[in-house]
Each structure stands twice: as structure tokens, then as C-alpha cells.
Amino acid sequence: MAQEQQLLKTSPPDILVCTPGRLAEHFLGRGACLDLSRLRWFVVDEADRLLTQTYHRWLEVMDRACCKEVHEGPRPQKLLFSATMTWDPRKLAQLKLLRPLYFFSSRTGQYATPAQLQQHYLRCPANAKPLAVLYLLEYVLKKVEAEHAKVLVFCQSVNTAHRLARLLQIACALRGKYRAKLGEEAEEEEERTDDELVQVPQAKGSPEALGPGTVAEFSSSLTQKERGKLLKQFSSGKVMCLICSDVVARGIDIPEVTAVVNYTAPAHLQTYIHRVGRTARAGKVGHTFTFVTRGDMDRFEKMLRESADCWERISKFPIPKEARSRKKAWWTPALEALQRCLDLESKGHLSPVKPLAMDNLLTSALPTAKPPKPRGVRAAPVELVEEKEVKEKRVKEKEEKSMLDFLKDGWGT
């Protein structure tokens, strides 16, 4: 703060870019030395959001800077920008605008999205949504070079974002270990139902391109320093996918985001506009995928029809049956590893914001070769073997059902 004040005194800037709170500190706080008597332009980005944050006292700064008694020369011009500008007259009155002019990106004045944005919605059972997200990540890798792919996955809560990030990290590691252990070169070819005959590229992905280190959580649980470090890794391509809450939906510039995934359909159109606005920027093509349940479909359609063109441009994205199948060999071990991870975090043995020690979580989950049968031991009758296999199958199904019940509150929201 002292260094900034010294710079303002010795080298007054022509253009000042700052946050509302910092502006108030330098203009109204102790030792204030910011001179705005010759201000010509007062630009406010994300204006509708800042109007809800008047506690920063930035409105007071604007009033004093534009006051005739203080200001020298022509009256400063106020420029307000937002993708979802408010129409509330009570909020707009705080700005004290003089004969304001409104400019819209659409002819009707409704919320609009870029022409380069390709919008999709998906129908998927709640307990299979993590598998569908994995498929979407591989689909994006198929469409774009791996080192250039960047995906944001928005969740409704910090808790859901954390659970999903941990599960995807475990699943990416476990799939690679299963493939290496069992000698599988590729997964089986995805099956399609009769109503899913749309030509969609079969995204195979690879353990190297989609590894556990390529998925990370970005939420309010992280410190400012940790967020900055993670954003640098995401921009450089070291991290491919960020699982986040709405903390990153606006106000943070992340260049060249390939796709945005709405893990839960937003409740408000403004939230949808700001989320999908992270991609298809500066004339580049972007993709957005929104999970919609059967019960939310009517509300989702009604919400998008309030925009200028979102409903007319959105299309259904088919998820192959095999991609969302929970019968994969690594799925149940991944859920078990996730439960162990959450238990360790709840007991304080594992930090929720640090990378996982995958070997400790996955050791008991890996498939092992069957031990050789000792000599002199007679084989069990076929009937007993079949009965044992049936019992083991029932126990496995029961464990998987209890695991899904354990996670049920996290995947549906």
C-alpha cells in the first residue's frame, strides 16, 4: 500500500486499473493521495455485480470525483459494462446518470451469447454424471489438441465441486492402472441406443493425456495464492480441467477456454450467461454442455427462452450407453477410494486442497492375479463354485448400492 501511494505521488498515472476497495483506500483512506480532479472517464466492469457491493465505497469515490466543486474541466463520462446489466431503477439511481444511453449486444435487448458458442444439453442419471463428465473431457481432447484443451466444470456448491474433483482424479489414475495391470489397449467400443444415432466422434482418450494431475478443484476453499498458482497451471496447459463453483464464473479472465460444463443446470439465466461466457471469447469457437434432469427440463427451457437466442441454438448431446455405464471394472474401486479419501479428510489426516497420495488410496483397489492352485487340492464342485460366485456378485452389488447412497447427496446437485 505504501509503495503504491509513493508511485501515485511521484508518477501520477494517465490510466488507473484497480479494484473498488483499493480505489476507495487511495482516495478516501488514511494518507490518500489519489488526485481525480481531472478525471475524464470512469469505467466500471461487471457493473451489476458491483452495485451489490457498495460497502467498498466506490460509489462515494465516483460521486466526489464527478462533483462540480471538485472536478476541473468537462464532466467525466461514466461507462458501465456487464453481460447481464440490471434494469432495477433503484440500483441504477445510485449511479446518478445524466441522460444515459443503453447499448445492447442483441436487437431485442435480451441476454445474448456469442455466435461462435455451440450450446448443448445432456440427459443423464444423477449417479452416472461423473462418468459422463469423463466422456466429455475425452470428447474435448478428441476435438482439440491435448496441450490446448481447457475445460471448466461448474458445480452448484463447493462441497459438490470437491467431491467431483476428487472422484475424477481417482478415476483417471485408476483407469490407467487397470489398463496397465490387465493389459487392455483400449476400452470396448461404445454402444448406442436407437435414439442416439447422431454422428459423434468416439473419444477414446488416453491415461497419459487425461491423468490425475490434469484435473483440479478451484473454489473458495483455496487461498488467494493457491488460486493464482492454479490459474497459471491452467493457462499453461499443465492442468486441463478445473472443477469449480461460481467463484470463477465472472470477474476472472481465463484465456482460450475450450468448453464449459454445467454439472447442474443454473437456476437463473444470468448465472447461465456468465458461466458460458468463459468460452467462445474474442471470436473463437467454444462449447458448452449442461446436465439437465427430466424434472428440470421445463424450467430450463423456460429460462433459456427469456434470452435472445439460447433456446433456438441449443441442441441435445448424446451420451453413449457404454460411457455412462457403472459396470466398468474400475468404477466401484474408484467409489471405495473416494470414500477412504473423504474419511481421511474428515479426520484431518489428508488436506482437502493438496494432491492425493494415489498409491495409498488405490493399493487395495487394484486387480491382482489369481494365486496358483496348490498341488493335491481337489477342485470344488461346479455347483459350489457357481453358488460362491453368485454370493460374491450379490455382496458386490450391495456394496456398490451403499456406496452410491453415501454419495447420493453430492451427485444430484
Q: List pLDDT tens digits, range 212-261.
A: 688 999 988 888 888 889 989 998 888 999 999 877 666 677 778 999 99
Which of 38-47, 198-207, 210-219, 243-252 has the lowest average pLDDT?
Answer: 198-207
CATH of the domain at 217: 3.40.50.300
Residue 322 in contact with residue 192, Cβ under 8 Å? no
Distance of alpha carbon 240 from alpha carbon 259, whole angstroms:
11
pLDDT at residue 180 is higher than 80 = no
CA torsion sign, 183 to 189 to 191 to 196? positive
Both 79 and 173 in one domain: the answer is no
The pLDDT of residue 15 is 92
Residue where a domain stops, chosen among 265, 298, 316: 316
Both 204 and 65 in one domain: the answer is no
Asked whether residue 111 is assigned to any structural domain, the reply reads no
- Biggest CA–CA distance in the chain, Å, is 105
Q: Which domain holds residue 86?
A: 13-93
* Residue percentage of the chain with pLDDT more than 70: 75
pLDDT at residue 205 is higher than 60 = no
Highest mean pLDDT among 55-64, 158-167, 397-406: 158-167
Distance of alpha carbon 354 from alpha carbon 368, whole angstroms:
29
Highest mean pLDDT among 126-140, 142-156, 349-363, 385-399: 126-140
pTM: 0.72
Mean pLDDT for the stretch of residues 158-174: 92
Closest CA to 331 of 175, 133, 151, 217: 175
Single-letter amino acid code for the residue at 258? T
Both 223 and 138 in one domain: the answer is yes
Asked whether residue 137 is assigned to any structural domain, the reply reads yes
Both 80 and 179 in one domain: the answer is no
Both 84 and 134 in one domain: the answer is no
Which of 111-120, 189-198, 246-255, 299-308 has the lowest average pLDDT?
Answer: 189-198
pLDDT of 370-389, one tens digit each?
Answer: 444 555 544 444 444 445 55
Both 25 and 123 in one domain: the answer is no
Mean pLDDT for the stretch of residues 265-274: 92
User: In Å, how far from its chain's centre is CA 165?
Assistant: 10
Asked whether residue 250 is assigned to any structural domain, the reply reads yes
Closest CA to 18 of 58, 72, 47, 65: 58
Q: How many domains does the chain have?
A: 2
